[in-house]
């Protein structure tokens, strides 16, 4: 796996921060890293409040949070998972977010092992 180390750091940081921030008191956070010949997968799971399955895709959009979080945790802006999604996309990684039936989320980001499939070139601004 290759890519921009600062962006990967931000992705991991956002996932772990969200898992801790939106966990329940006395809950668990699990961080796993697995690797095969074709991909490396980071999986972060927490035991937070239940998230309705129909809200999961919305959580990947900027300024969106699960409805239960607006009053429970007013200190976030709803940007963490949208940033994770953009960093994953820039690295050619797949992102899967699943609500856990007992509450919380499992977020898995799978990065391709092929270095040519890593970070996509970003268009450069046109000089004026």
66 inside domain:
yes
88 inside domain:
yes
pTM beyond 0.85, yes or no: no
128 inside domain:
no
Here the CATH number for the domain that contains residue 68 is 3.30.565.10
Provide the number of structural domains found in the chain: 1
120 inside domain:
no
Give the pLDDT of the chain (128 residues) as one tens digit per residue. 567 899 999 999 999 999 998 899 999 999 999 999 999 999 999 999 898 898 888 888 765 555 544 445 556 656 679 999 999 999 999 999 999 999 999 999 999 987 555 444 444 455 55
121 inside domain:
no
Report the phi/psi class of residue 8: left, alpha or beta, with left for phi > 0 and alpha for psi in -120 to 50: alpha
What range does the domain containing 76 cover?
5-115
């Amino acid at each position: 796996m290759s890519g921009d180390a600062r962006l990967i750091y931000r992705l991991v940081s956002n996932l772990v921060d969200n898992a801790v921030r939106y966990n329940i008191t006395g809950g668990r956070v699990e961080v796993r890293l697995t690797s095969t010949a074709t991909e490396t997968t980071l999986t972060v799971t927490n035991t937070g409040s239940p998230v309705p399955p129909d809200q999961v895709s919305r959580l990947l959009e900027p300024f969106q949070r699960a409805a239960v979080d607006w009053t429970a945790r007013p200190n976030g802006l709803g940007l963490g998972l949208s940033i994770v999604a953009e960093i994953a996309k820039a690295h050619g990684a797949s992102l899967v977010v699943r609500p856990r039936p007992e509450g919380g989320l499992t977020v898995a980001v799978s990065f391709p092992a092929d270095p040519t499939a890593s970070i996509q070139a970003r268009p450069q601004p046109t000089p004026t």
